[in-house]
Structure 1
Amino acid sequence: MSNRKKHKNEAGILKAFKIADIDKRIKLVFTGNPDDNINALIKNLKLEDRVIFTGYLDAAELPKLYRTASALVFPSFYEGFGLPVIEAQASGIPVITSLSSSLGEISGGAAILV
């Protein structure tokens, strides 16, 4: 759950998703709308059919999104707090996050740290 800021490491998520070459039925879902840079990267990586942007979601819609997700991937380079980690854990889904800033601590040892 993020906005289009470089420190959110969305480019890294997309590149890792491409390299992982996992089951083609698995989709990568981002909240919000893509910007031109992210759209260009998705096209360059040939991931157009595997990446979904939800458009704007209000806070009341997020729990449903979490409940239908297989995992939260949140490898931000830095965060002041990182609320999505807590929200995902509260929804019972696995979390993959970065061992940077507050994210490792916020996860309480219950996340895969990268």
Structure 2
Amino acid sequence: MKGSKLLEQYEQFNYVVEQMLINAQNENWDLLLSWQAKYLQLSKGIMLVDDFSKIENMPLQHQDIIRMYIKNILSYQQQLTQLMITRHSQLRELIGKHADYQTKIGSYQKIACLM
């Protein structure tokens, strides 16, 4: 029965990470953050399974499904990380432009005051 519980945990974790990726792709940041608590809970639960013999003693079909979930989870996490890096770079660029505009406006205001 513990094996099916572990399989269920991987299934849930796969779903949560997939939803986080979808929300990031849709730039739905609030919903993305709402999944964080469940993500942490499931990842801690899975990390507590330090005895891989539990997986090895599962039926081969379950082992294959867990391997598929692990591949999916890693892929989703990689895509999520890359997306966050891209968004961070875009935001940094926008902030830089905004700061540059603010500096120019400040300079124009100083010049206007002198006239």
Q: What range describes the TM-score normalised by the shorter chain of this pair?
A: under 0.3
Higher relative contact order (CA 8 A, sep 6+): 2
**TM-score (structure 2 length as normaliser):** 0.26
Q: Which has the larger radius of gyration?
A: 2
**TM-score (structure 1 length as normaliser):** 0.26
